[in-house]
């Protein structure tokens, strides 16, 4: 079974969303892990908006990259530039992929505007995950 690590700064939003989608899309083919170069806790808005996709992140935890040093990953996906810069510190031979998604946690405005930004980023990550699944596991 292939192992995928999704890495971002705080393992709070973007990596958690990608984790949820890839685990759903590739359930029987992969083990999915997500981590951050820091840990910020899982963002409640990420949990809330993934429920709209019928994906439950409520039991997810924010994990630090160091927790997974002993695992040999087949794919390491960085979802922000900060994590990509830190990624060379991670020991592993897996194929490295990168896409710098905007950080929805930094969205400003009314509650509706912030949620709309979360949805926009969620949809970007969803499409990325669909494309990844089709490219690597078709």
CA distances from 8 to 28, 94, 109, 120, 125 (A): 24, 16, 24, 18, 13
Question: Which position among 7, 18, 37, 80 bears the catalytic label?
Answer: 80
87 classed as catalytic: yes
129 classed as catalytic: no
Buried b (16+ CB within 10 A) or exposed e, 17-37: bbbbbbbbbbeeebebbbbbb
Question: Which position among 87, 105, 121, 125 bears the catalytic label?
Answer: 87
80 classed as catalytic: yes
Question: Which position among 4, 5, 8, 22 bears the catalytic label?
Answer: 8
The set of catalytic residues is: 8, 80, 87
């Amino acid at each position: 079974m292939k192992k995928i690590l999704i890495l971002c700064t705080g393992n709070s939003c973007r990596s958690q969303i990608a984790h949820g989608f890839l685990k759903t899309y590739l359930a029987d083919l992969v083990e999915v892990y997500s981590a951050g170069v820091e840990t910020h806790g899982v963002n409640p808005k990420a949990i809330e908006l993934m429920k709209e996709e019928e994906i439950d992140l409520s039991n997810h935890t924010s994990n630090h990259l160091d927790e997974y040093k002993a695992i040999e990953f087949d794919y390491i996906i960085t979802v922000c530039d900060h994590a990509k810069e830190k990624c060379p510190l991670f020991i592993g031979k897996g194929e490295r992929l990168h896409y710098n998604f905007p950080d929805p946690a930094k969205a400003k405005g009314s509650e509706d505007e912030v949620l709309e930004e979360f949805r926009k980023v969620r949809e970007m990550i969803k499409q990325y995950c669909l494309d990844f699944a089709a490219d690597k596991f078709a």
